[in-house]
Structure 1
Amino acid sequence: MNKPAHSGCHQQIVSIDDIFFSYENKTVIDGLRFQVLERDFVGLIGSNGAGKTTLLKMIVGLLRPTRGEIRLFGQPIGQFRDWERIGYVPQKNALNPLFPATVREVVTSGLYGKKNMFRRLTKAQLQKADDALYAMRIEDLADRKIGQLSGGQQQRVFLARALINNPELLILDEPTVGIDAETQAGFFRMIRHMHQHHHITFIMVSHDMDAMEAYLGEQPVQRSGGLSFYVKHTHDPQDCVETDLTHSMQQLRESMEVLS
């Protein structure tokens, strides 16, 4: 049974109102209600088939709910157009290893939206790409094909792509699957820094219960079907005075030093 969603004076980043989703005749998500407030870190845990990835895909507009409403930054998802405010890192197994794009091309693809899909990138946008590559310590891989990289390197590429617009909401679907323990530890240190010191809201699916509970607490704030939601609020003022992309990327670079 769902518990009342937390509320307060902070902006609702994601509002999920009585969502249902079915694949053919199988209901995967049944009457989910949940709110994500600005600067929340939401950890989503559940067994295979519980609907974790399905829910994330609905939030980023890749799937439509069978019934119910999702609002992003206060707008119904069908009317939402500011997708650059959202960064999304899908599961690693969503990548076709034969996809011919280079690392730089994958990262810069995060700059294209419906508004500028066919426009040439500006010098400032190209600098954003360089900043993102530098921050993730993959600048030396810029001309390599994405399918030639290790699992950990690929995750850095997708994270760089998601961060290139300095998003307000970052959605991560099992970002540490297939990477070694040291890299996982460095990744968690990095996103904790981002959450604590920058104006970013997180929704993350992970099977790493120890890492999730260490940061978010041992008890979920809500359960719905097979999904458990763990939440940490960071609603105090930001500690980092600088909030531009270049500063954020430098902070990430320093956090990523352990991943070399």
Structure 2
Amino acid sequence: MAPVIEVRNLSFSYDDKKVIEDLSFQMNARDFVGLIGSNGAGKTTLLKTLVGLLKPTSGELLLFGKPIRQFDEWSRIGYVPQKNALNPLFPATVREVVLSGLYGKRKLYRRITAEDRQRCDDALYAMQIADLADRRIGQLSGGQQQRAFLARALVGNPELLILDEPTVGIDAETQRSFFSMLRHMHAHHNIAFLMVSHDVDMMRAYLGDSPAATSGKLKFYVKSMDGAASCRETDLTHALKDWPGASEPIPAYQ
């Protein structure tokens, strides 16, 4: 099986300022990679490069065995950028934003099914924003917007989830429950994670104290799962054992 991510001698510069230099690393299926580095180390730049938002100055990048310039299966990847800078006049509702996570670049205009809507409702429930589904995304607080973009990234059950400071602006109790959900998904589902987080203690508690690799100011902490995924559930909410309100019934989409 091809690595989920393979980076070979990658470098990136903003004008004359080199941010990433000669970086090589490999990430396999069911890896959980925590990326830690000081401000300006290139964490966000690397993630933006991995999802095609930035083009490397040099080097090679492969996703699921394909060079990124040929890769077209973006529905396999969920991405939550760092603290979305959103125009408050953006007209989409929260539900529409979350539903957009089900579409790859070639499926943007396909018909929305009842199953799609149910998955959207599950994701909204999982992030505790079901009551905000019909609100305009620009009307939400920063923390509520972040929950909406987390729901968007999770709704399609991606094989790779890339998270850049995903819990900024979210209260501590919700952060703990969210990380609990991530740990369940990593342990029992066929999904790989690449995450930048300011919560270094949480990262090290799960991934260990010693980085598996270091490149410049970037440190990669890795925990790998062996064997086949053991959980057959396909919705998001079953993993929320400790989530406030998780015992409440989930209304089916009508």
Which position in structure 2 is the counterpart of 1:181?
172
Specify every segment of 5 or more residues in structure 1 that has no aligned partner in the other structure, as ranges: 1-9
Give the Å deviation of 1:258: 6.8
Which position in structure 1 is the counterpart of 2:201?
210
TM-score by length of 2: 0.90
Write the deviation string for residues 6-28 of structure 1: whole angstroms up to 9, x where unpaired: xxxx5410000000100000000
Give the Å deviation of 1:53: 0.6
Write the deviation string for residues 196-238 of structure 1: whole angstroms up to 9, x where unpaired: 1111100000111100000000111111111111001112322
With over 3 angstroms needed to count, the CA separation of the structure-2 counterparts of 1:252 and 1:147, relative to structure 1, is: farther
- Are residues 1:40 and 2:31 paired? yes
Write the deviation string for residues 62-106 of structure 1: whole angstroms up to 9, x where unpaired: 111010111000011111111000000111143334433211011
CA distance in 1, matches of 2:245, 2:40: 34
Q: Is the 8 A contact 2:160 2:191 kept in 1?
A: yes
Q: Is the 8 A contact 1:220 1:230 kept in 2?
A: yes
Number of aligned positions between the proteins: 247
Which position in structure 2 is the counterpart of 1:113?
104
CA distance in 2, matches of 1:46, 1:124: 40
Write the deviation string for residues 155-182 of structure 1: whole angstroms up to 9, x where unpaired: 2211110112110000000012222222
Alignment of 1:1-260 (within 5 A): 11-240=2-231, 242-244=232-234, 246=235, 249-257=236-244
Specify every segment of 5 or more residues in structure 2 that has no aligned partner in the other structure, as ranges: 249-254
TM-score by length of 1: 0.88
CA distance in 1, matches of 2:112, 2:170: 32
Give the Å deviation of 1:145: 2.0
Q: Is the 8 A contact 2:127 2:147 kept in 1?
A: yes
Q: Is the 8 A contact 1:38 1:235 kept in 2?
A: no
* Large movers: runs of 4+ above 4 Å: none
Identity %: 64
Write the deviation string for residues 26-71 of structure 1: whole angstroms up to 9, x where unpaired: 0000000000010000000111111101100111111110101110
Which position in structure 1 is the counterpart of 2:251?
none
Which structure has greater helix proportion? Answer: 1
SS in 2 for 1:124: helix
Amino acid at match of 2:243: M
Q: CA RMSD in A?
A: 1.9
Q: Is the 8 A contact 1:146 1:154 kept in 2?
A: yes
Q: Is the 8 A contact 1:101 1:146 kept in 2?
A: yes
Give the Å deviation of 1:128: 2.2
